[in-house]
Amino acid sequence: MRKYLERFYSITIFSLVFMLIGAVFSLNVYAKPVEVSLWHYFEHEAEALEKVVADYNAMQDEIEVIPTFVSREELMNQYTIGAISGELPDIGMVDSPNMASFVALDVFADITEYVEEWDDLQYFYDGPLNSTMDVEGKIHGLPNNSNCLALLVNMDILEAAGFDEPPTTWDEFYEIAAATTDPSNSIYGFSMSAVGNEEGTFQFIPWLYSSGASVSSLVSEKAISSLELLTNLVKEGYMSREVINWGQADAYNAFVAGKAAMLESGTWQIATMDEDIDDAFDYQYTLLPKGEEYASVIGGENFGVTVAASDVEACTDFIKFMQTAENNANWCEIAGKLPVRSDAAELKDFWTEDERYAVFTDAMNYAVARGPHPEWPIISEAIYSAVQAALIGEKTPEQAMKDAAAIINPILAEIPVAGSN
């Protein structure tokens, strides 16, 4: 009898304990926020991103955002495969000129209904915001940061060659590039990236628009003159032929090592510049030299909510939080970028105080966007191929531009660039 009692007790106690554990667990599950994956390719900015994410996770309990680093190349591949397989993160980062393609591939969800009533939207600059839109003007994400290109000059080399001021026009630029080239010390007058990918296109666009031409007028005299300028630099030995294999990091390294008098430089490079140059020489930023007009190009990243997200509205809410004026300002200060909203730029004075940033803030006034266009990768390939062909002497600048136009013009005739400039 006692045995039975013991058994009965033990069973009862056991089941009570189990019930308790179960209850605790189910409570936990009940209160647990939904996990949301975010893919990005920020490297030195990753810490700042994680802080924003942690803040957001702490202030609400609906979703928990989990950031994952994926390198840029692969992120593109993942979106491409994801477009076919449907396997995507909930929130994804994307380089602004590529957004239109992924919108066309149905990677990013339409979030217009969640942002159109949002007061803050009016403060976003047009250029970056347009890059999140499709042909009908529907918004698929929010811009996160902006950058553009300016001219970076090694003042020590310039002064040694007898120039006190950086160049402002193409003619001055060419003259200085010639005067500062020093083959005996393997110093080139100018360094840029003309590599066979989006970076090469990015670096050529300012020259094209500075001539007064545009992507849709590549066969014009003006467009050809811009390519001629760069081709002559290589021909005369003022710029290394190897720039066709240089990414922007490579061109920057050459400048930092004192092997280039001038560099076409991006905003993000300010973040590491002082550390890398280490007071070896004085440098100065200025606008890229003017052909017919000043010009630059807009770069930057956007964040979008993908079509795979279980709760588009909740994810959109996170992106909005990330892009509040205050967060955007803090973020861009850490990451060495330019804010994407006018009221964020006003929050900190270093974009106007720090003379390096001031140049970029000014350059933004002249900066053009790439696209937005769903076929941008093909347009871009035609452009960087033309530049490469001319620089290595495979084609004349005129022929190279004609061949590029032959590819680009039919595409633009079918689908014009949204918000065409």
Partner 1 sequence: MLEKIKFTLNSRRGRKNIIFSFLAMLIAVIFLFPIYWLLMMSFKPDIEIFAKVLTYYPHEFTIQPWLENLQNQEFLCSLRNSFMIATTSMLLSIIFGVPAAYGMGRYKVSGRKIILLTFLVTQMLPPSLMLTPMYLIFNNLGLLGTYLAPAIAISSGAVPFIVIILRPYFKSIPRSLDDAARIDGCNLFQSFFRIMIPAIKTGIIVVVVISFLSGWNDLAYSMTFNVKAEMRPLTANIYKFQSKYGTRWNAIMAYGAILVIPVILVFVFLQKYIVGGLTAGAVKE
Partner 2 sequence: MKIAAKKFEGYIFALPGFIYTVVVLGYPLIYNLILSFKDLNIRNLRSGNAVLVGLANYKQLFTDSTFQLILRNTFIFTIGSLVFQFTIGFILALFFSKKFKLAGPIRGLLLIAYMMPIAVTAMLGKNIFGVSEGLINDLLLKMGFISEPVQWLVSTSTALIAVIAVNCWIGIPFNMLILTSGLTNIPQRVYDSAAVDGANAWQRFYHITLPLMRPAIMAVLMLGFIYTFKAFDLMFIMTRGGPLNSTDVLGTYAYKLSFTKYQFSMGAATGMVLFCCLLVIGLFYLRLIAGEED
323 interface partner picked from partner 1, partner 2, none, CB below 5 to 8 A per type:
none
Contact by Cβ (8 Å): 367, 297: yes
242 binds partner 2 (CB under 8 A): yes
Classify residue 43 as exposed, middle or buried by CB count within 10 Å of its CB (0-12, 13-18, 19+): exposed
Shortest distance in whole angstroms from residue 197 CB to partner 1: 11
106 binds partner 2 (CB under 8 A): yes
Contact by Cβ (8 Å): 200, 227: no
Shortest distance in whole angstroms from residue 249 CB to partner 1: 3
Tally of CB atoms within 10 A around 185:
9
69 binds partner 1 (CB under 8 A): yes
Sheet holding 260-266, edge to edge: 188-191, 260-266, 149-154, 283-286
Contact by Cβ (8 Å): 39, 70: yes
Kind of pairing between the strands at 149-154 and 188-191: unpaired
Give the largest Cα separation in the chain, rounded: 110
Shortest distance in whole angstroms from residue 46 CB to partner 2: 23
Which window, 5-13, 116-124, 223-231, 242-250, contacts partner 1 (CB under 8 A)?
Answer: 242-250
Site string for partner 1, 177-196 (x = CB under 8 A): --------xx----------
77 binds partner 1 (CB under 8 A): yes
Site string for partner 2, 201-240 (x = CB under 8 A): ---------------------------------------x
Find the binding residues for partner 2 in span 142-201 (CB under 8 A).
Answer: 186, 195-197
- Where residue 349 falls (left for φ over 0; alpha for ψ -120 to 50; beta otherwise) is alpha
250 interface partner picked from partner 2, partner 1, none, CB below 5 to 8 A per type:
partner 1
Contact by Cβ (8 Å): 37, 66: yes
Number of residues binding to partner 1, judged by CB under 8 A: 29
Classify residue 40 as exposed, middle or buried by CB count within 10 Å of its CB (0-12, 13-18, 19+): buried
Q: Can you tell me which of 19, 257, 406, 415 binds partner 1, judged by CB under 8 A?
A: 257
In this structure, the chain runs to a length of 421
Q: Give the DSSP H/E element, type plus range, for residue 262.
A: strand 260-266
374 binds partner 2 (CB under 8 A): yes
DSSP string, 319-370: HHHHTSHHHHHHHHHHHT-B-SBHHHHHH-SHHHHSHHHHHHHHHGGGEE--
284 binds partner 2 (CB under 8 A): no
Contact by Cβ (8 Å): 162, 349: no
| Cβ partners under 8 Å of residue 256, min gap 6 | 273, 276, 277
Site string for partner 2, 41-80 (x = CB under 8 A): -----------------------------------xx--x
Shortest distance in whole angstroms from residue 161 CB to partner 1: 18
73 binds partner 1 (CB under 8 A): yes
Q: Can you tell me which of 249, 293, 310, 313 binds partner 1, judged by CB under 8 A?
A: 249
43 binds partner 1 (CB under 8 A): yes
Shortest distance in whole angstroms from residue 299 CB to partner 1: 14
394 interface partner picked from partner 1, partner 2, none, CB below 5 to 8 A per type:
partner 2
Closer residue to partner 2, CB minimum distance, 83 or 401: 83
Output the CA–CA distances (angstroms, integers) from residue 29 to 24, 237, 279, in the order listed: 9, 67, 56
Shortest distance in whole angstroms from residue 182 CB to partner 1: 10
237 binds partner 1 (CB under 8 A): no
Closer residue to partner 1, CB minimum distance, 136 or 275: 275
Contact by Cβ (8 Å): 314, 179: no
Peptide bond into 372 cis (omega under 30): yes
Please give the residue ranges that form the binding site for partner 2 (CB under 8 A). Answer: 76-77, 80, 83-84, 101, 104-106, 186, 195-197, 240-242, 244-245, 374-375, 377-378, 381, 385, 388-389, 392, 394
Please give the residue ranges that form the binding site for partner 1 (CB under 8 A). Answer: 39, 43, 68-74, 77-78, 81, 84-85, 87, 185-186, 246-254, 257-259
